[in-house]
Amino acid sequence: MQTKQRRISGAVAAAACGILTLAAGCSSTHATAKHDAEPKASRAAEPRSPAAPGASPADLKPVQSQRLRRYLLTTDDLGPGYTQTETPDDEKAADPHRYDDIGMSGCPALEELSKHSDEVQFATETSAGFAFGTDSELSEELHSDTPTKLSAGLRRLVHAQTSCPTYTMTSGSTPVTITVRKDAAPTSGPDAYAFTTTLNGPRGTSVLKTTAVRRGNVVVMLVGAPALVDRHIEAAVAKLSSV
């Protein structure tokens, strides 16, 4: 019996569909999915400021979006050969219905998470995208919320994404077979994750790596060509030291 496909949206779209961005044309910028579906209550929380100096890590508040953008990687950070393809302002023009034709089957954890996507929405976010040469791309997301919420939400998203070694997603009527492999964390700490995703579809086979690290009240996530993600994750995390 064929498994019924479940539509995905919000944070789950970013977790499940986000890895398709650079390979399967799921969208032009995967980070905007959560922003588009973010509930009004989360957006209302955006003006909150970071805690005063001396506050404990548990007391840290979400970083405002405008300030959060300062900690994104730039072409100066990346070096020669990179061009910026997406900027934080791109999310303003995002289509809130861009994921309407995305479906998924064969991964109960992601299907279950899709029913509770509002539970893994973060208060603020921003993103940027880059191309290296003609064939390789790198996308960065920054998310901010309280450390407790970021830790729990990130753990839940990554667990769902890596719980199914193989599953199927469709864009319209086009099927894409996805296989996932967990990788060693890029740095020490409980909130550091990495996994590699192989996508097989009509466009051929593509391999993407996703790496996510939390530092205090900010999560950085890089998605793209494995070599580019490995090369730049340390620089991306280092930029958060002044948050």
What's the pLDDT at 56? 52
Domain assignment of residue 136, yes or no: yes
What's the pLDDT at 4? 40
What's the pLDDT at 104? 78
Residues of the chain with pLDDT below 50 are 1-16, 18-55
Domain assignment of residue 230, yes or no: yes
Domain assignment of residue 29, yes or no: yes
Report how far residue 162's alpha carbon sits from residue 182's, in angstroms, rounded to the nearest whole number: 7
What's the pLDDT at 97? 65
CATH number of the domain that 13 lies in?
Answer: 3.40.1000.70
Domain assignment of residue 44, yes or no: no
Q: What DSSP designation does 184 have?
A: -
Domain assignment of residue 73, yes or no: yes
Report how far residue 7's alpha carbon sits from residue 135's, in angstroms, rounded to the nearest whole number: 30
Domain assignment of residue 46, yes or no: no
What's the structural domain count of the chain? 1
What's the pLDDT at 91? 56
Domain assignment of residue 163, yes or no: yes
Print the domain residue range for 130: 6-38+58-242
Q: What DSSP designation does 15 have?
A: I
Instruction: Write the pLDDT tens digit of every residue in 31-41.
Output: 333 333 333 33
